[in-house]
Structure 1
């Protein structure tokens, strides 16, 4: 009888032990971790605001684990922030000058820097055109309120180069540049602040990139093209920062920008992608 009682008690004890063992295994078995989200910070020239906003959304839609954090400003302001310690993963400049300065100072992964689009300048006026500006010659009329960029920002530097070319031509001459500059009422540090001045009636005309007339503004603005002989072709470089901790992810984003989808968006906004 004694041995029979021991056998009888052993059954429930074994069952309890089995339950505990199964529970223990269940508690220590974890589901595979979800892929961690990566945030890429992209310092981007203000003239690319519309295009890169759309590119960022398109990239995120295809790469759910990646967030594109876009910071827009004038190229010179973004360069200064990097020099003072800001740490983006990618820098997109509106001219070679500011990118080259960062390359020379060791801030960029130089082997990743490449030109990817071109742009050129145009003059824009409000669609109601209160100053009656129909040609480039009309920019010299007394009382015209003109907006340009500061000499340190790319679109301001390019504007001065255009005016220098016109000043050196027999069709316009030095007096033309002097009269146009005399009509400047504001010099902006980012091209993104120019269009609102025209749509709000604060200015009559402005020198901008041809890409700055966005779809939503096409019924508010008229573009006057600058002949190629006077115009300046702006080349935009982009590259990965030397201190980026996410170089592979940054390279994948740049490949998207330069690929079929990114190039299509850039073209839609008036840029000319470089193969």
Structure 2
């Protein structure tokens, strides 16, 4: 009888021990599953609407940004700044807007579609007159486009910032009406560049950065800073953005030394690092 009681005690002890071990292991299993989930960073997709003249450099900026914020996916849409501003007005999904002129950014800020306090002056550029490479007769200045040797000049239309800069330049020269009479109006600065590169026009007005990436054109004149408005590229956060902090972090990166190096590589001049309130 005693041996039977002893065996019962042993069995009960073994069962109790096994139960405690099972409970402990179950707790460990729960911890192993839940802990990584609590630390996981949710991916964020940012929609960036940017001027077409930025398409080349922003592809490199995107790659550089991935090393800083791998959880952020940048989704770019490039077009004329006026077209992009209209898309924002119509409710297109967007988190960041980068324009090739202050005009579009200011108009969106004034009606509350861009957070005014987020707007920064990001880059500067220059206006240049270009011709097909090796084209004759060769022009020497902006005034030459009204001569008989030029039958057609490509300029941006009223929705394209480069078109506004071109109009201002020729209005100050007192030549706008004559230029307009032989102008072929483009929907983007890249279209102006393409028309000149393919010799569909005699000359065109683009940004210096665009001329630098096209081997089939050459710059014949650079606009005097006093002859047109300063070419400024502002950037801002869309008021309806679902990821405002991520959008602001991206703007901060655009002002970084690494981003500035990339912008300079493509011929842009970084603006001051001071955030501007509009």
TM-score when scaled to structure 2? 0.84
Which residue number in structure 2 is paired with residue 5 of structure 1? 7
Tell me the secondary structure at the aligned position of residue 213 of structure 1: helix
Distance verdict in 2 for CA 1:239–1:114, change over 3 Å? same
- Give CA-to-partner distance per residue, 1:243-269, whole Å, 9 cap, x none: 223222222211221222222222222
Size of the alignment, in residue pairs?
Answer: 264
Gaps of 5+ in 1: 168-173
Query: In the alignment, which residue of structure 1 is the partner of 2:265?
Result: 268
Specify the alignment match of 2:275 in structure 1. none
What does residue 74 of structure 2 align with? 68
**3-state SS, counterpart of residue 72 of structure 1:** strand
Q: 1:199 aligns with which of 173, 192, 197?
A: 197
1:84 positional shift: 0.9
Correspondent of 2:57 among 51, 58, 62: 51
Conserved 8 A contact 1:131-1:144: no
Match of 2:48 in 1: 42
Match of 1:164 among 161, 171, 186: 171
**RMSD of the alignment, in Å?**
2.3
* Cross-structure match for 2:180: 181
Q: How many angstroms apart in 2 are the aligned matches of 1:198 and 1:48? A: 19
The separation in 2 between residues aligned to 1:119 and 1:143, in whole angstroms, is 26
- Could you tell me which residue of structure 2 aligns to residue 226 of structure 1? 222
SS of 1:98 mapped into structure 2: helix
In 2, the alpha carbon distance for the partners of 1:158 and 1:118 equals 13
Check the 8 A contact 2:150/2:202 in 1, yes or no: no
Instruction: Give the deviation of 1:15 after TM superposition.
Output: 4.4
Q: Partners of 1:85 and 1:156 in 2: how far apart?
A: 25
Instruction: Identify if the C-alpha distance between structure 1 residues 58 and 214 changes in structure 2 by more than 3 Å, giving closer, same or farther.
Output: farther
More deviation, 114-123/196-205: 196-205
Cross-structure match for 2:119: 113
Distance in structure 1 (CA, Å) of the matches to 2:60 and 2:144: 36
Give the conservation status (yes or no) of the 8 Å contact 1:50–1:214.
no
Which residue in 2 is equivalent to 1:171? Answer: none
Q: Verify the 8 A CA contact 2:127 2:223 in the aligned structure 1.
A: no
Structure 2 gaps, min length 5: 273-278
Mapped partners of 2:28, 2:129: distance in 1? 69
Give the secondary structure class of the aligned counterpart of 2:173.
helix
The reply to whether residue 151 of structure 1 matches residue 149 of structure 2 is: no
**TM-score, normalization by structure 1:** 0.85
Preserved contact between residue 51 and residue 265 of structure 1 (Cα < 8 Å): yes
